[in-house]
Amino acid sequence: MHRNVRAVVEAGKALGVDVHAREFPESTRTAADAALAIGVDLGQIVKSLVFAVDGEVCVALVSGDNLLDEGKLAEAAGGDKAWREDADTVRDATGFPIGGVPPFGYREPLRVFIDEDLMGFEELWAAAGTPHVNFAIVPSDLARATGGRVCDLAVRR
């Protein structure tokens, strides 16, 4: 088992979540790739997006079929401006590469915000540390384990 996956499994255990990591031969780096490989609706994929709000790194867990509204994230975090962080910052803050960032188990404590649309599914799938390994989780466990604030984060058209 890859060290990143082991770290996610251990973090899950510490948070009371049984992580059954599943490796896929196809890439699950993007939400669309993950939904296709796993065989679930795009909305069931948890995108772990690392942003900064007024300079504070935080994580937005967004439904795979939604786009993040940066203004809504900034407001939820009590800030003025949100922006996507670069790959180096993502790895430094979380310990994981883009495309493999899990919803918990970060290198440092980060505030987490959860797209309310994720709460409407019976089962979600999230990255488990690499762009080929994922795990299933129910929305209530996602919210509990991350301590995330559930709010409207999606671009609405």
- Looking at residue 8, which CATH number applies to its domain? 3.90.960.10
Task: Give the integer Cα–Cα distance in Å for 91 and 77.
Answer: 21
Would 157 be classed as within a structural domain? no
Number of C-beta neighbours around residue 25 at 10 A: 6
pLDDT tens by residue, the chain, 157 residues: 899 999 999 999 999 999 999 999 988 989 999 999 999 999 999 999 999 999 999 999 999 999 999 999 999 999 999 999 999 999 999 999 999 999 999 999 999 999 999 999 999 999 999 999 999 999 999 999 999 999 999 998 7
Total domains in the fold of the chain: 1
Range of the domain at 142: 3-151
Return the structure tokens found at 68: 């993040």
pLDDT in tens, 123-133: 999 999 999 99
- Three-state DSSP state, 105: coil
Distances from the Cα of 93 to the Cα of 2, 59, 101, 143, angstroms:
19, 10, 10, 20
Does residue 129 lie within any of the structural domains?
Answer: yes
Determine the 3-state secondary structure of 7 from DSSP.
helix
